[in-house]
Structure 1
Amino acid sequence: MKVVVLGCGYVGLELGRQLTAAGHDVVGVRRSDAGLEAVADAGLDPVRADVTEPETLADVPDADWVVFAASSGGRGADAARRVFVDGLQNAVDAFAARESPPERLVYTSSTGVYGDHDGDWVDEATPLDPTTDKTRVLARAEEVALSAPFSSTVTRFAGLYGPDRYRLERYLEGPVTEGYLNMVHRDDAAGAVRFALERDVDDVLLIVDDEPVSKWEFADWLADACGVARPEKRTKAERLAAGDLSEAARRRILTSKRCSNERLRTLGYEFVYPTFRAGYRAAIDAYRRDV
């Protein structure tokens, strides 16, 4: 299959590598020279385009499958809207107008669209309740994807980690605020998208590993594995009272939930890193070598 990955970044590059290894022809779309160089280094066909500039999408070739994995660069809701809503609509319109439109679109969303569930379980059937401007943008983008004039899938990623994104210091140095962590290793995030493409999975798919974990429990496990003292703990009330939180940090504290991967497992996906215990092993080994 011919696959176009729009916004071929952290997950998109790994997805491209996996799809190429499986015999697919992959085009990685980025808007910067550095991004295009990374695409080429991954063995993919680099094409320059920007989803917020619809005229540039004419340079992107036709595809059987399109994956929208663009990032807003961690900026605010307005930037997110330009990329995830307007940019996604630009991509849908551009590919839908072609003589050979794609068979499937996959849009990569976030479990942030669920909002707060006070530690209860959520799955694909749980109603969305986004609590910030940015997560409301993400929920709106899901509507754009699912209303596309070709088959579409929304993949909701839990917290991504993996090479260059382990962030050990956050949990080793503390203080660590109570709540749950829902995680998925980059390789499995990409692997689950590849699985959704190859298995023609429709609708919504929650991509998270087998074990949502208490932040306090995770921090203690990580400290023990790294051979350092366990970090200081704080309750939500204590952390919120500090008053020095970014919007993203505040949202993480106030939106506690446990995400279920039952549908993904039932469909037959097999995780490379089923839990953080396997996924963090490389980072722990590197940490212990360096101290």
Structure 2
Amino acid sequence: MNKNIGVLGCGWLGFSLAKKLVEQGYKVKGTTTSSSKLEVLQKEGIAPFKINLSESGIQGDIEEFLSNIDTLVINVPPKLRGKHAESLVEKLKFLHSEIKKSTVSQVLFVSSTAVYGDVEGEVTEESSPQPITESGKQLVECEKMLQSEESFKTTIIRFGGLIGPDRHPVTTLSGKQSLSNGNHPINLIHLNDCIHMILTILEQEHWGEVFNGVYPHHPKKQVYYFEEAQKRGLPTPSYKTQSSEKEGKLVLSKTFLEKGHIFTTPIIS
């Protein structure tokens, strides 16, 4: 197993992953769009690069970043809100052509369970994506672009809602009234398990595959968020009572579990 890795996009997940990889003895390069974060990466033993992907090209020394790395983790979420919305697909086209010219032989693309849209019932990696949001549609297109490339192998990991020590959706839901879909199951994963899944894929060399990343416990939203708010001393959210409500989607991490791997960090506080 090679030990040279690039993490493109050192946001919350990417930065936590890069730090863990350094701890595990990997040589890690990481990118940020912010000059002020270069020093933060450097302090953690991550070789820092200021790289900005845009619809018109790539700003920064992408060739140097991609040189002498075997595995590239792409952790760049769609940026579709606000004034400066940009197409992830267009950005990825530029990146794709740079990867083809580089030493990279494996790509891990961080995607989202948003690609499944509003399908009902259990969803596995074998389920066809049916995205309804623009970000979901763009992620599917990016997945296909990378998977169809023959010069490197791509694994896709579709994470559910991400929670962690200082990040939980209950903080934004707190005190809200008349929320819908209270009977739908939650599809969440803890930051620790995101990193655990990525490390497992790297170490076991699970290339050319698709993984769902969702913790295998799916209480109803209205029950889960009520309890999580109470534990934090926050005002509890309330949901509409809807008798004819659809069941919602329940995302299973079938590929990961069937390989004998386990999740390590519960989503119950």
2:227 pairs with one of 196, 221, 225: 221
TM-aligned CA deviation for residue 228 of structure 1: 6.4
Matched to 1:147, the amino acid is S
Report the Cα distance in structure 2 between the residues aligned to 1:145 and 1:14, rounded to whole angstroms.
24
Residues 156 and 209, structure 2, Cα contact 8 Å, conserved in 1 = yes
Q: Are 2:218 and 1:212 aligned?
A: yes
| Structure 2 CA distance for aligned equivalents of residues 123 and 189 of structure 1 | 17
In the alignment, what sits opposite 2:205? 200
Deviation of 1:169 after TM superposition, in Å, equals 2.9
Distance 1:86 1:74, change over 3 A: closer
Q: How much has 1:224 moved relative to structure 2?
A: 4.2
| AA partner of residue 89 (structure 1) | K
Task: Extract unaligned runs of 5+ from structure 1.
Answer: 238-252, 281-291
The structure-2 alpha-carbon separation of the partners of 1:31 and 1:172, relative to structure 1 and needing over 3 Å to count, comes to closer
Decide whether the 8 Å contact of 1:77 with 1:134 is kept in 2. no
2:74 counterpart (56, 68, 76): 68
1:79-228 aligned at under 5 Å gives the runs 79-81=85-87, 84-98=88-102, 101-118=103-120, 120-148=121-149, 149-175=151-177, 176-177=179-180, 178=182, 179-201=184-206, 202-226=208-232
SS in 2 for 1:276: coil
SS in 2 for 1:173: coil
* C-alpha distance in 1 between matches for 2:39 and 2:248: 38
Picking from 242, 248, 253, the partner of 1:261 is 253
Tell me the equivalent position of 1:42. 44
Structure 1, residues 238-286: CA drift from partner, whole Å, max 9, x if none?
xxxxxxxxxxxxxxx999311001221222333231x311xx3xxxxxx
Matches of 1:34 and 1:74, distance apart in 2? 24
Kindly provide the CA deviation profile for residues 81-106 of structure 1, in whole angstroms up to 9, marking residues without a partner as x.
2xx322223222112113xx212001
Which runs of 5 or more residues in structure 2 are unaligned? none
Greater shift in the superposed pair: 148-157 or 170-179: 170-179
| Whole-Å separation in 2 of the counterparts to 1:77 and 1:184 | 30
- 3-state SS, counterpart of residue 107 of structure 2: strand
Q: Distance in 1 between matches of 2:196 and 2:105?
A: 19
Q: Is the 8 A contact 2:5 2:27 kept in 1?
A: yes
Shift, 1:163, TM fit: 3.1
- For the residue of structure 2 that corresponds to 1:213, the secondary structure is coil
Structure 1 residue identity aligned to 2:142: A
Which whole-Å CA distance do the structure 1 matches of 2:176 and 2:46 have between them? 39
Q: Is the 8 A contact 1:4 1:67 kept in 2?
A: yes
**Conserved? CA contact 1:77–1:133, under 8 Å:** no
1:245 paired residue number:
none
Contact 1:69 1:108 (8 Å CA) reproduced: yes
Distance 1:9 1:255, change over 3 A: farther
Q: How far 1:15 moved relative to its partner?
A: 1.1
| C-alpha contact (below 8 Å) 2:125/2:254 kept by paired residues | no
Identity of aligned residues (%): 24
What's 1:15 paired with? 17
User: Relative to structure 2, which stretch is displaced further, 194-203 or 205-214?
Assistant: 194-203
1:152 Cα deviation from its structure 2 partner: 0.7
Query: Closer, same or farther in 2 for the Cα pair 1:33/1:122, shift >3 Å?
Result: same
Q: Does 1:4 align with 2:6?
A: yes
SS at match of 1:191: helix
Give me the whole-angstrom Cα distance separating, in 2, the residues matched to 1:168 and 1:36: 32
Instruction: Go from structure 1 to structure 2 and tell me whether the alpha carbon gap of 1:2 and 1:228 turns closer, same or farther (over 3 Å shift).
Output: closer
Query: Aligned partners of 1:214, 1:55: CA distance in 2, in Å?
Result: 44
Q: Secondary structure at the match of 1:51?
A: strand
Aligned partners of 2:40, 2:166: CA distance in 1, in Å? 15
1:76 Cα deviation from its structure 2 partner: 6.6
The number of residue pairs the alignment matches comes to 257
1:12·1:69 contact (CA, 8 Å) conserved in 2?
yes
Superposed, 1:269-280 pairs within 5 Å as 269-273=261-265, 275-277=266-268, 280=269
Quote the residue 2:58 is aligned against.
54
Q: Distance in 2 between matches of 1:79 and 1:147?
A: 26
TM-score by length of 2: 0.85
Change (3 A) 1:169 1:193: same
